[in-house]
Amino acid sequence: MANFEIKIIGCGSALPTTRHLPTSQIIDLREKIYMIDCGEGTQLQMRRMHIKFSKISHIFISHIHGDHCYGLPGLISTLGMLGRTGELMIHGPKEVEDYLRPVLQTTCNRLPYQVCFNWVDTTKHQLVMEDRSVSVYSIPLKHRIATSGYLFVEKPSEPHLISEMIDFYKIPIKELQYIKQGADYVTPEGEVIPNERLTRPADPPKRYAYCSDTAYQPEIVPIIKEVDLLYHEATFVEADLPRANQTYHSTARQAAKIAQKAGAKQLVIGHYSARYEDTALLQQEADSVFPGTILAEEGMMISLR
């Protein structure tokens, strides 16, 4: 099982089609589940992908446009029917709570768990949430309404024990946790075994940036510098740049330019306009600037390990 995996639930835009679902993603990090956005159809796609609803610990909403949040009331209701008791934390612009509170009071007023809200300042890059596995930061985006992207930064893991050396020195199990934390080992005879002889360095922490919806905004480049994976909206092709500018969205070429400027290791594009029956056109355009661009599809799983 991958330690850090992105699961694409939906990668379409506002107008419904039979080709793509509205936006939603799942971050599976060390078997903890985090959701980004929750468009209509999210629950059904999660069932198809065998994702356990009960494992969702936090939901991050980028903005209040319907294709990013209309699936929330249904999901919240389902979690109640499944017997959830632990609180659910929803992060996003203040408008998310303004929208959800009346809906929940009308349709889900007897939930067996508490829904909590953490307001995200969409004008600042700052820490939004932190637990033992990840730190999540806001990314100020440029859209028609208050919108935030999210940067997931994995917490450093412990170094790897070298099993052959552990066996050679017959190190007791109770000592292993201290060695993982950097301690040397002292044998019964008093010999000091340096930690670097017993361990290999931990894997470098991985970083994932989610940027949807947004106009072309090079100002975010320093925030997402050298991320392992960048998801960037690519609603339009370059021929429709005037429409992209009008709606504060990006073209595939602009998404690729952001990835190129940031030195991202991988780029995945999504949030396709319904006008394009062949999304390969978007991939080709991005690929000409950032070779190896990934075209998001429902059900896709991308491992950062």
What are the residue numbers of the active site? 67
Q: How would you class 89 by CB atoms within 10 Å of its CB: exposed for 0-12, middle for 13-18, buried for 19 or more?
A: middle
Beta strands in 74-161 (DSSP E): 88-92, 115-119, 127-130, 134-140, 148-154, 160-161
Classify strands 32-38 and 185-186 as parallel, antiparallel or unpaired: unpaired
User: How many angstroms separate the Cα of 222 from the Cα of each of 125, 152, 254, 261, 285?
Assistant: 11, 15, 16, 9, 24
Look up residue 17 and give its two tokens: 């089609």
How many CB atoms within 10 Å of residue 237? 22
By three-state DSSP, how is residue 141 classified? Answer: coil
End-to-end CA distance of the chain: 10
Classify strands 88-92 and 56-60 as parallel, antiparallel or unpaired: parallel
How many CB atoms within 10 Å of residue 148? 27
What type of residue is 27? I
258-292 exposure pattern, b = at least 16 Cβ within 10 A, e = fewer: bbeebebebbbbbbbbeebeebeebbebbbebbee
* DSSP 8-state secondary structure symbol assigned to residue 12: B
By three-state DSSP, how is residue 60 classified? Answer: strand
